[in-house]
A and B are shown apart, each in its own frame.
Chain A
Amino acid sequence: MKPIRTYHELAEPDTSGLGTQVAAQRERVAARLATVKHVVAVASGKGGVGKSFVTASLAAALARAGRRIGVLDADLHGPTTARMLGATEGHLQVTPEGVVPPETDDGIAVVSTELLLDEGAPLRWKEPDQDRFVWRGTLEAGMLREFLGDVVWGERDLLLVDLPPGTDRLDALTELVPSLAGVLMVTIPSDASLHAVRRAAQAALDAHIPVLGIVENMAGYACPSCGVIAPLFQGDAGITLANVTGAPLLASIPFDPDAQSAADSGRFRPTGKVAAAFREVVDGLLDRIEGA
């Protein structure tokens, strides 16, 4: 048999068209996000730290500060952000320009798998049933790409991308959005959270993604009677993460059961101590991305 030439040694164009289509997908994402000033990921290394609560509350606080906000819930299998923002009943309107997302009363545009699925229905893919592990990740990256590139985000100051626990989706996001402003890391005070979030923060830094700040959630329980804040968890993950990453601890958010309950029912907008803490997050975040 004759020696086989390499792909690049074959001079004629690639008539399969795969390369050009993938390039066009990237270009479409870039063009779509040209009207978005900053894309910020919200991440944590583990579940259960209230990342979506932080994303939704931060979005509301930013909107209250006069910024035009979009929220993309990239937690495809466990979406909650749209519910917290009260946007689950909205429709995705298909127009010649793309898909127009629903907006909350305070003008926050929201895209999430919650908008695509019936109440309680899990995200499932069509056939084939066998060997799903081979293609599922690719399909989920494609879903993220379409959420970024096919949605008419319009003029936005910030697009917050609520990532699922772990770092896989952050890698996909970074490749799709090279201009990513950075990532906010959410933790709770515990040592267990510290170790998991530290790994995620290091993964971001290794990928040259700026860690814009640390948000320590559930940092104490605010007594509804006397207002005193008592600790919920042992540990100081927030300040430790700030020290090891070089990113500022933007705020420590006290746990407020009323706020959590309101968020779960889509009626939440920060008030009281929680609102004050999120104003600190807003100030610190805007200082990092707009002051830069």
Chain B
Amino acid sequence: MKFLCVECDAQMAFEQRQLPGDGTLAAVFKCPTCGRSVAMLTNPMETQLVSSLGVKIGGRTVAEQPMELIRSAVEGGRETAFDDSPRTSHLAPVSWDDAARERLARVPGFVRGMVKRIYADYAAERGIAVITPEIMDTARRELGLEGM
């Protein structure tokens, strides 16, 4: 997928990806010549189609988790299907405050271990020692974790 600035006849560069809500995926591209930015907006069906490919527009910001697509997309999976007990990251461990821990506990067991690892890696990569609900919100927004 490439975006062309018709006015400048120049290929635009990927800037950022956002999930502003309502099932919308926004991918922002910028023209290197005139500086104009455009956002491609997809409807929920189109967002799901991209997600079904197991790819992220603009590339991944965190490593893909094992069976990420399955764990993200299956509705009502068995709570005990996955055993995530061994740590699967090479990064330093982070701690969780009580509110974040409580929020994590509400995530269905089918996907909880993966979600926990994604947030932990996000925090560790940014030097964040303690995960709070605010950190989780920021990570969700930045990483496109809608639904997790």
Interface of A with B (CB < 8 Å)?
1-2, 4-5, 7, 10-12, 14-18, 20-22, 25, 91-96, 98-99, 115-118, 121, 123-128, 130-131, 134-136, 138-139, 142-143, 145-146, 150
Contacts and interface: CB of A to CB of B under 8 A. Distances in A.
A138 B83 contact: no
The 10 lowest CB-CB distance pairs between A and B, nearest first, are A17-B59, A15-B14, A16-B1, A128-B44, A138-B52, A124-B75, A139-B52, A21-B55, A131-B45, A135-B49
Contacts of B89: 96
A251 to B, nearest CB: 35
Contacts of A123: 74
Given A25-B54, A92-B81, A118-B78, A138 B70 contact: no
B18 interface: no
Nearest to B77: A116
A99 B4 contact: no
Contact of B113 (A1, A94, A126, A143): A94
Interface stretch (B5-13, B98-106, B120-128, B137-145): B5-13
Interface in B21-51: 23, 27, 29, 44-45, 48-49
A96 B53 CA distance: 23
Contacts, number: 151
Contacts of A99: 66-67, 82
A142 B54 contact: yes
Nearest to A137: B52
B113 A16 contact: no
Contacts of B92: none
A225 to B, nearest CB: 43
A118 B74 CA distance: 12
Contacts of A5: 4, 9
A127 B44 contact: yes
Interface string B50-87: 00111111111000001111101111111011111010
A125 B75 contact: yes
B141 to A, nearest CB: 19
